Amino acid sequence: MNLPNKLTLLRIILIPVFMGVLYWGFPGADYVALAIFVIASLTDMLDGKIARKYNLVTDFGKFADPLADKMLVTAAMLWFVEIGRMPAWALLIVIIREFAVSGLRMIASDKGRVIAAGWSGKVKTAATMVCIVVMFLHIPGIQNTLNMVCVWIIALTTLYSGVEYFVKNKDVIASA
């Protein structure tokens, strides 16, 4: 197993650790969980750069890397829904978009076509990761406002990128 795949596997292993820390709830658990989230997120950046630079792209990486990202983000958002920092509708938008884009990619794949990540998808991912970090912070007086701003940023960038995938690839659906 090459280094990028090991980093992806590490990210997957860190997800239950991240959630365990949050549920354990010791003093400072949010900050420990935040550190784990940041480390896991950085492994995503690192494994992609290494895989592309050294041509270490594998079928495992193509499958597991985006899955690990979705699992990490979903875990954090589930926590925020559970503790009341995020409404469930926002998480539902994210989940529906992920299923829809994955389905579109499967249809395209059956036709021998690969739908690469678009610019708006990368912006959505970056915005979501930054917003999750911000939502873990405890800034007296403005945290609730920050959480709501982040929820809207996540929802709107997710909706936009999902719509963009379908508009740019409407021919895939039309020929299905």
Distance from C-alpha of 32 to C-alpha of 152, rounded to nearest angstrom: 26
Q: Is the pLDDT of residue 21 over 90?
A: yes
**Confidence (pTM):** 0.92
Percent of the chain with pLDDT over 70: 99
3 state SS of 114: coil
One domain for residues 163 and 93: yes
pLDDT band at 44; cut points 50, 70, 90 = confident
pLDDT band at 117; cut points 50, 70, 90 = confident
- The number of distinct structural domains making up the chain is 2
Query: Residue 148: which domain range?
Result: 84-176
4 CB-side CA count, 13 A:
23
Distance from C-alpha of 78 to C-alpha of 36, rounded to nearest angstrom: 16
DSSP single-letter state for residue 165: H
3 state SS of 117: coil
One domain for residues 70 and 21: yes
CATH number of 10's domain: 1.20.120.1760
Amino acid identity for residue 108 in this structure: A
One domain for residues 141 and 95: yes
One domain for residues 64 and 102: no
pLDDT band at 116; cut points 50, 70, 90 = confident
DSSP calls for 140-163: TTTHHHHHHHHHHHHHHHHHHHHH
